C-alpha cells in the first residue's frame, strides 16, 4: 500500500514570495490533515478535511495560508506571502475514517520550507 506522498520535499524562498505544497493521501482515506512543525516543536494542526469539506481550520493563519482538497483526494496548501516565521516542516497526514479519536493518522515525509 502506497503511503502519503508529498512534494516538493524541500523549498527555499524569500520572504513575501508565495509557495505551494501538494499532498496525495493514502487511497481511500477520507480525512486529510496539514500540520506545521517548527524546529524544536511538535507538529501543530493547521487544517483538517473530511472528504472535500473543512472540519477544522481554527489554527490556520487565514490572512496568508489557504488550503483546498480537490475532489476529496489530493490537497494543496499555499502560503502567500511567506514570512520568516513560516520556516518549518509541513506535514500531511491522512486517516481512513472521519478522523475520530483513536484513529491512526499516517504521515507523509513532509516538505521542509526555508524562508530567507
Partner 1 sequence: DQQVKQNSPSLSVQEGRISILNCDYTNSMFDYFLWYKKYPAEGPTFLISISSIKDKNEDGRFTVFLNKSAKHLSLHIVPSQPGDSAVYFCAASDGTYKYIFGTGTRLKVLA
What is the sign, positive or negative, of the torsion defined by CA atoms of 57, 71, 9, 82? negative
Contacts of 70 (CB under 8 A, 6+ apart): 52, 76
Task: State the nearest-atom distance from the C-beta of 15 to partner 1, in Å.
Answer: 25
Task: Sketch the per residue contact string, 7 through 46, with partner 1: x for CB under 8 A, - otherwise.
Answer: --x---------------------x--------xxxxxx-
The phi and psi torsions of 66 (rounded to 5 degrees) equal: -145, 155
Contacts of 105 (CB under 8 A, 6+ apart): 33, 93, 94, 95, 99
Task: Sketch the per residue contact string, 53 through 92, with partner 1: x for CB under 8 A, - otherwise.
Answer: --xx----------------------------------x-
Task: State the nearest-atom distance from the C-beta of 38 to partner 1, in Å.
Answer: 10
Task: State the nearest-atom distance from the C-beta of 9 to partner 1, in Å.
Answer: 8
Nearest one of 42, 104, 41, 108 to 77, comparing CA atoms: 108
Enumerate binding residues for partner 1 (CB under 8 A).
4, 9, 31, 40-45, 48, 55-56, 91, 93, 98-110
Amino acid at each position: 500500500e502506497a503511503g502519503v506522498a508529498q512534494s516538493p520535499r524541500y523549498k527555499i524562498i524569500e520572504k513575501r514570495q508565495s509557495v505551494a505544497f501538494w499532498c496525495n493521501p493514502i487511497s481511500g482515506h477520507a480525512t486529510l490533515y496539514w500540520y506545521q512543525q517548527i524546529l524544536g516543536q511538535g507538529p501543530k494542526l493547521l487544517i483538517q478535511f473530511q472528504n472535500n469539506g473543512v472540519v477544522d481550520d481554527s489554527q490556520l493563519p487565514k490572512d496568508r495560508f489557504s488550503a483546498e482538497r480537490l475532489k476529496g483526494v489530493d490537497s494543496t496548501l499555499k502560503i502567500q506571502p511567506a514570512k520568516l516565521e513560516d520556516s518549518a516542516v509541513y506535514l500531511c497526514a491522512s486517516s481512513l475514517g472521519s478522523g475520530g479519536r483513536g484513529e491512526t493518522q499516517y504521515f507523509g515525509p513532509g516538505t521542509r520550507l526555508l524562508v530567507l
